[in-house]
Structure 1
């Protein structure tokens, strides 16, 4: 009986952890979109209807909470990529469309969260967020490299170019700069520019 009670308490504890973390992540996203200057840990905890102590127990720093928020969005993209039956440029362009769709919801919050370190530094340091970017884009980018005849050993640079060219801040700016480009025009402009950058890596 005692063992069963401990087991039940453990399950409830895990459920509480998952629920509370999700509430904090949702609250962080809402505040980063609506009032980024005041998106402090106490404000996020209040919005999540949790104590500040509880918030810090799950995320010891605000930076760790931001990182977890970014990671949760990127996991969505990674899972979409891994489940896709497409190949080559068709795969890449479909995942780009998915990325832009995610940015319509999460982009304004993601724009507020930026690392001071360079992309390749974080990639080679096994940063969790950049690792998920890698997992989401490895197959689409490697297939594009093969289709365009670019050596696969250029993958890290191709991934870095993707990260720079399809940055949420720039995409948001291009789409919402009225009188300029539509969403579809923005996507196609960036895709063709990216293909050009990849072809440029093989130029002598």
Structure 2
């Protein structure tokens, strides 16, 4: 299952690397791909979830956390820049992104709530921007 999850994350890394988008546009481009990936791969990814938090796993060098960081960090850094927030909030952006875009939650919104992919991307992205801005103001 880990190899399967790694393959999914590697495809997301490649998706982002092929894009010429930046900032929020890159973030939402990645988010749209992520939501689509969850429809196919989410049920398997959910089963291989860790009991440890994202930042702990990233700092410990866990492969999945590192791949996720590789896939999302350029977009997260771009969001910080677009929002006029300092790069020092990258770990906060990682944490908030991981919490909001968890495969379980994406599947809940698409399958259980029946929201179209575009609404899931828009709502989660807006929630992410708001949470990040709110966190930065404290």
When normalised by structure 2's length, the TM-score is 0.94
Distance 1:118 1:177 in 2: 25
Which residue number in structure 1 is paired with residue 80 of structure 2? 145
Match of 1:74 in 2: 9
Partner of 2:127: 193
Higher gyration radius (CA): 1
Q: How far does residue 181 in structure 1 lie from its aligned partner after superposition?
A: 2.9
Residue of 54, 66, 69 corresponding to 1:119? 54
SS of structure 2 residue aligned to 1:150: coil
Give the paired residue count: 138
Q: Which has the higher contact order (CA 8 A, sep 6+)?
A: 2
1:64-115 alpha-carbon deviations (Å, 9 max, x no partner): xx22221111000001111211111111111110111111111111111111
Residue of structure 2 equivalent to 1:87: 22
Q: Per-residue CA shift, 1:141-187, capped at 9, x if unaligned?
A: 00110110111111012111111100111110111124x53322222
Whether the 8 Å contact between 1:150 and 1:201 is mirrored in structure 2 is no
- Within the candidate set 167, 178, 183, 2:117 is matched to 183
Match for residue 104 of structure 2? 169
Q: Which residue of 1 aligns with 2:70?
A: 135
Q: Which runs of 4+ in 1 moved over 3 A?
A: none
Separation in 2, partners of 1:150, 1:194: 13
Aligned-residue CA RMSD in angstroms? 1.2
- Gapped regions of structure 2 (runs ≥ 5): none
| Uncovered stretches (5+) of structure 1, i.e. residues with no partner | 1-65
Q: What are the residue-to-residue correspondences of 1:39-118 with 2, within 5 Å? A: 66-118=1-53
Cα deviation, residue 189, structure 1: 0.9
TM-score by length of 1: 0.65
